[in-house]
Amino acid sequence: GIISKSQALMVARGDLGVELGVNRVPFAQKLLIARAKQAGLFVITATQMCESMIKAPVPTRAEVSDVANAVWDGTDAVMLSGEAASGQYPLNAVRTQASVCREAESVKHRLRRACPPVEAATVMPPMLHVSMGNKRQETDQSLRRTKVVASLGPASWSEDMIPKMIRAGTDIFRLNCSHRRGGDFERVYPLIRKYAAQLGRKVECLGDLQGPKFRVGEVEGGTSASIKLTEGDILEFGICRDDNDLIKPGRITMKSTTEQNALFKAARAGIDLLIEDGLMKVHVIEKVSDTELKVKVIQGGFLKARKGVNVPDVEIDCAALTEKDIEDAEFLLQLDPPIEYICVSFAQKAQDLQELIDIMDRLKIPKEKRPKICPKIEKPQALTNIDGIISKSQALMVARGDLGVELEVERVPFAQKLLIKKAKEAGLFVITATQMVESMIYQPVPTRAEIADLQNSVWDGTDAVMLSGEAASGDFPLEAVR
């Protein structure tokens, strides 16, 4: 009846989520879009599309995924509310929406061939009716097959919190080796096994190796100091000549390490270096030597000490496992009972995983006690070399954080669908990670975009979804798991 009197329709997910329950909105959204399009109506999808951009200049991975999936569902328009009306970055929000929509449109025809189950047909199947969006919410957690991976940290790894996290629904605990220090893992690991046994729950553990990290050095003036990078400026960008070669106006430096020296050796004129998750960008205009570059600032900002550097356009010739990774892997491999998964960060090719296999061989780890190898797909090169990577793996993580920096966030949702499909066809266990419910670091409830992103990941076929800061350091770790 509503459609018969209408020429357009808005899926207003705000109050709909309040009245229907936020967990039921993504399914209702798909049904509403399909039915309205069948009737020839113009469809707008609205509310919390890029909510984080009220205060941040870039969207979360969940928000980008939500917008892209709305386009693939068939929406004609996506709407900004507070992001454009009262936010700090209205122009960025509009540009982001437009960019994500265009990217989603550009690959929609490929989805029909590559991932037919995820394409929303323009003709609604006869067995589905929009009223099915009113179905009761499924609350029997014993029926849930998709696993919840929770990262451990100060908010969740106390003896009091571990059993609460298990009761809330954690299936796999992530031990992030980037933060392995002071005996925390030695204390926490037995607690996980103890309380899982007491509660009669199957709970697994995942060790996440840090991998090679690239960071700028220290800034002249101390840890709180910064230098301004202005668009169009020409700068020096090099390895520190000595301990006094700090970052200052006109020069950016990085400390000399095996990995960072390899970065400069691989660099060439014409590539981009992304700083602080892509907030700043410089373009290499000249390679002066294997330790010195001349760069032009493409996207400026204020550069502080030890910010991360990404190099999407080159495959860096260095070992996948650093000295720290080898030490951490040896620790993880000797845990009793054996850990179930070990993640290799920034895997680019099959050989990167062979390094971990070689450590298992050296330690003479029996086949039945070896953890599943789980490469984290974070670099564009991994997409090219995915067959070799899968051949050495038993699991796979779609690590959308660095992948979004290197690939650009607009391209991640399509890559995510392709990776999940490819890995599932090979029989791998798939984890989708990064910014799943990022807003829950500070809020007890997720946004509509985050709920839609989670459910679309499940519909894509992921076996698990992972919480990072939401569980490790957030204010609401139990609510995030639930």
Closest to 400 measured CA to CA, from 308, 254, 258, 277: 277
Q: Catalytic residue among 13, 35, 174, 421, which?
A: 174
> What is the C-alpha separation between 77 and 103, in angstroms, rounded?
14
| Measured distance CA(253)–CA(234) in Å, rounded | 14
What is the secondary structure of 261-293 as a DSSP string? HHHHHH--TT-EEEETTTTEEEEEEEEEETTEE
Of 144, 167, 162, 146, the C-alpha closest to 205 is 162
Among the options 61, 370, 376, 379, which is catalytic? 376
At residue 303, the 3 state secondary structure works out as: strand
CA distance 147 to 482: 12
Compute the distance between CA of residue 106 and CA of residue 39 in angstroms, rounded to an integer: 25
Distance from chain centroid for Cα 302: 25
Kindly report the number of other CB atoms within 10 A of residue 354's CB atom: 15
Catalytic annotation on 376?
Answer: yes
| Tally of CA atoms within 13 A in the half-sphere of 451 that contains its CB | 20
Which residues, 6 or more positions from 202, have their beta carbon under 8 angstroms from its beta carbon?
Answer: 171, 196
* Residue 102 bears catalytic tag: no
**Beta strand pairing call for 292-299 and 234-239:** antiparallel
Integer Rg of the chain from CA: 23
Alpha-helical (H) ranges within 74-132 are: 82-85, 90-114
434: annotated active-site residue: yes
Q: Of 300, 308, 306, 309, give the one whose Cα is nearest residue 228.
A: 300
C-alpha to C-alpha distance for 97 and 81, rounded to whole angstroms: 12
Token digits for 429? 């266990």
| Known active-site residue 174 | yes
The full DSSP string for 305-349 is: TT-BEE-TT----S-SS-HHHHHHHHHHHT-SSPPSEEEETT--S
3-state secondary structure at position 24? helix
Tokens of 430: 């798939």
Instruction: Identify the active-site residue in 108, 215, 265, 296.
Output: 215
As given in the structure block, the two tokens for residue 38 are 């069948």
Q: Of 253, 434, 447, 462, which one is the catalytic site residue? A: 434
* Residues carrying an active site annotation: 174, 215, 376, 434
